[in-house]
Amino acid sequence: MVVKVYKTAEEIGKAAAAMYAAQVIKKPDSVLGFATGSTPIPTYKSIIELYNEGVIDFSQVTTFNLDEYSGLDGTHDQSYRYFMMQNLFNHINVRKDAINIINGNSGDDEKACKEYEERINKAGGIDLQILGIGNNGHIAFNEPADYFPNETHTVKLTESTIEANKRFFNSADEVPKYALTMGIGSIMRARSIILIATGSAKAQAIYDSVKGNITPNCPASVLQLHNDVTFLVDEAAAAKL
């Protein structure tokens, strides 16, 4: 595990984007893993800049996203598919049929999860996966639990998550109650992993992930067992290390 500390979110974005560029230069048909949330936005901006400068060609890559809400169509402005199209995919030359995001609106979430895991395996596994981290150490939608879930699966959102997300919807009833997420095994099987974190609210989770015990109470702590993981964090997120 390598931990690099930066001054600003922009510097983290540039560093993470450079790792994506290096990966695609090394292997033009790479399988790239992406995340949603606010932390990766500067990374996606930098990736788009590198693409516009002609540094990265995404024409041969395949992408997989970590998670998606259940019951939202991909055109819904709160769906993770919509987020990815707006913040990255519409601005680079990735083939639309090479974009994989779990289908949360198929009517059969269990089947969608199983198919997604199979699709990752069929693609040969993920070469480079970026992760954000929750204040409680969650990665993707894998919340603190009694065990590490292995494959892509459905999760019931906690009341606090539903409450926190209410502001993005017209009413609380519209907030999805379930989500579909890659499991800890799906993530750990990626060949390289970057975890990015900014701000003091993430400091305890970063400490627990890097220096704490490996425990499903802090899902990101499992990354200590991965042989190619790089944490890119700002000084506030690194404050307790």
- Polymer length in residues for the chain: 241
For residues 188 and 172, what is the distance between their CA atoms, to the nearest angstrom?
A: 34
For residues 223 and 232, what is the distance between their CA atoms, to the nearest angstrom?
A: 14
Which amino acid belongs to residue 157? L
Taking the CB of residue 124, how many other CB atoms lie within 10 A of it? 12
**Count residues contacting ligand F6R (CB under 6 A)?**
13
Q: Which is nearer to ligand F6R, 4 or 27 (CB)?
A: 4
Taking the CB of residue 211, how many other CB atoms lie within 10 A of it? 12
Given the residues 143, 153, 208, 234, the one annotated as active site: 143
* Token pair for 190: 């990626």
Shortest distance in whole angstroms from residue 237 CB to ligand F6R: 10
Answer whether 131's CB lies under 8 Å from 196's CB.
yes
Pairing of strands 192-197, 178-181: unpaired
Contact segment (CB under 6 A) with ligand F6R among 11-19, 37-45, 92-100, 117-125 equals 37-45
179 binds ligand F6R (CB under 6 A): no
Among 42, 47, 67, 233, binds ligand F6R (CB under 6 A): 67
Contact segment (CB under 6 A) with ligand F6R among 3-11, 18-26, 50-58, 131-139 equals 131-139
* Interface with ligand F6R in residues 41-60 (CB under 6 A): none
Answer whether 152's CB lies under 8 Å from 117's CB.
yes
Shortest distance in whole angstroms from residue 182 CB to ligand F6R: 8
Mark whether 121 is an active-site residue: no
Mark whether 138 is an active-site residue: yes
* Token pair for 159: 């009341």
Contact segment (CB under 6 A) with ligand F6R among 12-20, 126-134, 155-163, 226-234 equals 126-134
Which residues carry out catalysis?
A: 67, 136, 138, 143
**Site for ligand F6R, rule CB under 6 A:** 35-39, 66-67, 132-134, 138-140
